Amino acid sequence: MSLAACHSGPSAAERPTIWAVAIHGGAGTLDKQASPDKRGEYELALTQTLAYAKDHLARGEAAIDVCEAVVRMLEDDPHFNAGKGAVFNEKGEHELDASIMDGSTLRCGAVAGVRTVRHPISLARLVMEKTRHVLLAGDGAELFADGQKVERVDNRWFDTEARRQLLDEVLQERARTGALLPPDPRQTYGTVGCVVMDMHGHLAAATSTGGLTGKRWGRVGDSPLIGAGNYADAWAAVSCTGTGEQFIRHAVGRSLTARLQFGGQTLDQAARAIVFDTLQKDDGGLIAVDRHGNLAAVFNSQGMYRALADSAGRFTVRIFED
């Protein structure tokens, strides 16, 4: 029996014929006092990716393809902590994590700790499509990449001055106080993600990250862990951002869809229960879409870069509370 057949989802007749998409650029945002120009840069990047997603979904493109393409765009944008612009680990290097999941089949793929792949999300998709595994890590993921048509770059290519400064601050603070993470959680988080319900009623989720600034070498967060930082099934698709360890502990991705499947909660109820009752203040947030095309973007940090659109005409880009 196929994975999809084991999984009882909504019947085809119930499936809506609309589309919906949510994108996030992480729960670690600019300060509210940042200049309008700086803020505008993030809003523009989110608006452009959202416009791309909207156009392609309106043309009937598949959820999984839109998720991958959106995340690739954000991986190339140095404003966000994924791909170019990823944060540094404590050794001053980049180790990138990503995962992707097709909710209509439960097929999924992930990579952790990759160092030379320009678009980790596409390597994650290749793990899904070309192997019988779900997650490849470190040297094994790099070796797999050698045999695939994926663009490779030197690890230094991901460097940006802003992230270098952040690492210096984190390491100085660590030497002074012993604190592993910076006192201000806004400086810690990043990650990009996309969740989609397409015109065919299929759900998908994709997430990519450089992880946490100053993270231990070899540390893997929630983003490449299916069921934690990224998940999609027949009920909903979820992408998370924040303190990965917390999202792993609470298996946030699958918990959210289980609340819909077994608990009868709405998407909004489920997202709020997890973000405000299960997680702790400043842990981060999530975006999600359910099988009816409802969208949620909920966070317990100061802000979360986010962009939401649907076929009913919604098109919003936000950083802080509405």
Closest distance of CB 147 from ligand ASP, Å: 27
Return the residues of window 54-93 that contact ligand ASP according to CB under 6 A: none
Return the residues of window 187-206 that contact ligand ASP according to CB under 6 A: 189-191
Cβ atoms of 207 and 99 within 8 Å: the answer is: yes
Q: Binding to ligand ASP by residue 221, rule CB under 6 A?
A: yes
Reading the block at residue 295, the tokens are 């969208």
Closest distance of CB 211 from ligand ASP, Å: 4
Part of the chain binding ligand ASP (CB under 6 A), chosen from 33-41, 57-65, 185-193, 253-261 = 185-193
Q: Binding to ligand ASP by residue 229, rule CB under 6 A?
A: yes
Closest distance of CB 314 from ligand ASP, Å: 24
Q: For ligand ASP, which residue of 222, 282, 283, 290 counts as binding (CB under 6 A)?
A: 222
Q: 104 or 302, CB closer to ligand ASP? A: 302
Q: For ligand ASP, which residue of 9, 15, 21, 26 counts as binding (CB under 6 A)?
A: 26
Q: Which of 69, 94, 223, 64 is nearest to 155 (CA)?
A: 94
Q: Binding to ligand ASP by residue 211, rule CB under 6 A?
A: yes
| SS3 state of residue 228 | coil
In angstroms, the CA 79 to CA 111 distance is 22
Q: Which among 116, 191, 243, 257 is annotated as catalytic?
A: 191
In angstroms, the CA 106 to CA 33 distance is 42
Q: Binding to ligand ASP by residue 212, rule CB under 6 A?
A: yes
Q: Binding to ligand ASP by residue 302, rule CB under 6 A?
A: no
Q: 65 or 245, CB closer to ligand ASP? A: 245
- 191 is annotated as an active-site residue: yes
Closest distance of CB 77 from ligand ASP, Å: 15
Distances (CA, A) of 220 to 22, 217, 232, 236, 316: 24, 9, 20, 24, 32
CA angle 286, 208, 61 (to 5 degrees): 85
Q: 57 or 96, CB closer to ligand ASP? A: 96
Q: 69 or 287, CB closer to ligand ASP? A: 287
Q: What are phi and psi of 6, to 5 degrees?
A: -70, -25
Return the residues of window 238-277 that contact ligand ASP according to CB under 6 A: 241-242, 244
Closest distance of CB 9 from ligand ASP, Å: 27
In angstroms, the CA 278 to CA 292 distance is 25
What letter represents residue 41's amino acid?
Answer: E
**Total binding residues toward ligand ASP, as defined by CB under 6 A:** 16
In angstroms, the CA 309 to CA 295 distance is 9
One-character DSSP codes across 64-99: HHHHHHHHHHHHT-TTSSSSTTPPP-TTS---EEEE
Closest distance of CB 70 from ligand ASP, Å: 16
Please state, as a whole number, how many other Cβ atoms lie within 10 Å of the Cβ of residue 135: 20
Q: Which of 114, 117, 111, 116 is nearest to 131 (CA)?
A: 111
Just list the catalytic residues: 191
Residues lying near ligand ASP in the complex (CB under 6 A) = 26, 28, 189-191, 209, 211-212, 221-223, 229, 241-242, 244, 284
